[in-house]
Chains A and B, each alone.
Chain A
Amino acid sequence: MNPTTTALRAGLRRGLIELRTTFTNGQDLWNYFFPTAVLLVAMFFMRGSTVPGTDFSLGARTLPSALGMGLVFGGLLGLAQQLIVDREDGTLLRAKAIPNGMLGYLVGKLVLISAISLIGLVIQLVPGLFFLDGLRLGDPGAWLTLAWVVPLGLVATLPLGAVIGSLIENPRNMGLVVLPIFGLIALSGIFYPINGLPGWLQGVAQVFPLYWLGLGMRSALLPADLAAVELGGSWRHLETLGVLGAWAVLGLVLAPVVLRRMARRESGSRVAARRERAMQRVG
């Protein structure tokens, strides 16, 4: 069989094995379910408030926004985190030492992170349906929108995660990425519409994928007349496609270059040096 096909298949299997492993690991499960539970509790208490200018539940508006945020967290931070950890413990070097191993490794990671993101989406959406009203899940149009927003969201965020994971060597520096993302959450209308923010802040938010993923998910799950309270009074699908697509292209152009450079520099002594630093952090 063709070595590339073999590596792609092995990568797929790798992703599935790691998926099974992560969902039978207590620590990992806690990491998935705890934030979801916190968000659901927040939505539960927001369910009685209304979106300004409407009588629609603020909690129900938050659910799709939070799903969009979840894609950014899963795709971007999830992959970056995995790359950093796998570099530190030698997983990446191992992949480098076997033929087409890096390809298999990457495919495995993409499968794993995509699956975790999708599963995360479901475990947040389903309980939310029990206490939030007005989400139009019965509408085929909703699923049609989900069918392009979710994959596009992953394609826009995963390569960025790969770039960030390749550039950051020390797990401690993840804060450099996490903090700005938390700032962006406030700007991007995940928990509250941003119509009241100054125009330039709205502009900043609209540069990044987070705002558009929230908007895209709302456009899929909220009733059509809620578009009136969005910026520009519309779901702006074309703009969503444009901005997320631009990030996807940027990521897909950068990621192979940065990944290759990172992989080329991996060696046993680098892994050993990193471990030494890690020991000092612990000790």
Chain B
Amino acid sequence: MTAVELPGAVAAPRPPDEDLALDVRDLRMRYGTVDVLHGVDLIARRGEVVALLGPNGAGKTTTIEILEGFRLPSAGTVRVLGVDPAHGDERWRARLGVVLQSWRDHGKWRVRDLLAHLGDFYAPYATDRFPRPWPVDELLATVGLTAHAGSRVARLSGGQRRRLDVAVGIVGRPELLFLDEPTVGFDPAARREFHELVHRLADLDETTIVLTTHDLAEAEKLADRILILAGGRIIADGSPDQLARRVGGDAEVRWTRDGERYVHATADATAFLRDLLREHGDRVRELEVRRASLEDAYLTLVHEEETGIRTGRAERVWQQEETR
């Protein structure tokens, strides 16, 4: 077996299945003659926040829709909260929360009426650990819509509407929550509030969260683990830090000396700085070290996948794990 290029992905041995909210192996999807997913493997432990990143058309939405039980896969094993979504019953459904991209439904309803109504369906599925549904007033306060409780849904602003979508997604106190590009159209304040909400759900309620986003800073802030889906397979899997460190590699060092600007890329910034300062001492000014960011890592990985350099690498990682 070749060396593993992404040790982060295999650092933890695969835990026993009961701890997995998501367990997907060799998921394949084919539309007509086009393969959209070529063997996706992914897991999420209970209480984990996982971000699924990838370029448009990489198969993110297809993957999520299969996990939500809205679409049947062509092949592969899928377990969501221990159940195959293709045969998920209403009891299983009650344990999931789904926030899709931009809903426009129920425009004539009032915010409070809608949340109360949708919450009603969850009441029979309450357990000691998961009291269901979430009380409407508390939920409204949680997503910051208390002031709009009596508004018609169609009159909400884009950000308010999105928060309502999230509220609907969590009204049943899901054990597993899917968020498909949840913060599109949010202003920075709403985004910050939303991030706090996600942390709260993950920390206090131990909700497992799977989110897709194009905002890498958001993924970095929210996710315990990041999966990058490109070309129909998972090409990287690890914490934001691990990905940034393993892939991007080079840090960027900028400084000025005698009024001139310098930029240097190096794999070992510390050693480089030591030498730089020893040589030039006080003449080095405006020193700045930028470590490879998640964005760099993401772009490198996706570019390599698209140009075929790294094809098959994620599979190797998984094979390695399975042979352990």
Contact = CB atoms under 8 A, between A and B. Distances in A.
A272 interface: yes
Interface string B57-99: 0000110110010110000000000000000001101101010
Given A10-B120, A98-B172, A90 B103 contact: yes
Q: Pick from A2, A86, A89 the residue with the most CB of B within 10 Å.
A: A89
A21 B108 contact: yes
The 3 closest A-B pairs by CB, nearest first: A91-B105, A267-B70, A99-B94
Interface stretch (B39-47, B121-129, B187-195, B224-232): B121-129
Contact of B124 (A1, A89, A271): A1
Interface of B: 61-62, 64-65, 68, 70-71, 90-91, 93-94, 96, 98, 100-109, 113, 117-118, 120-125, 168, 172, 180
A237 B100 CA distance: 51
Given A1-B123, A2-B124, A98-B122, A90 B105 contact: yes
Interface in A92-124: 93-94, 96-101, 104
Nearest to B61: A269
11 contacts: A2-B124, A3-B124, A6-B120, A6-B123, A14-B117, A90-B104, A94-B103, A99-B91, A99-B122, A267-B65, A275-B104
Q: Pick from A1, A25, A94 the residue with the most CB of B within 10 Å.
A: A94
Contacts of A21: 108-109
Contacts of B121: 3, 6-7, 10, 98-101, 104
Contacts, number: 90
A266 interface: yes
A109 to B, nearest CB: 13
Contacts of B71: 267
B118 A98 contact: yes
A199 interface: no
A275 B101 CA distance: 12
A100 B172 CA distance: 13
Contacts of B124: 1-3, 6
A272 B52 CA distance: 20
Contacts of A101: 118, 121
Contacts of A271: 100
Contacts of B70: 93, 96, 266-268
B230 to A, nearest CB: 18
B57 to A, nearest CB: 12
A22 to B, nearest CB: 8
A13 interface: yes
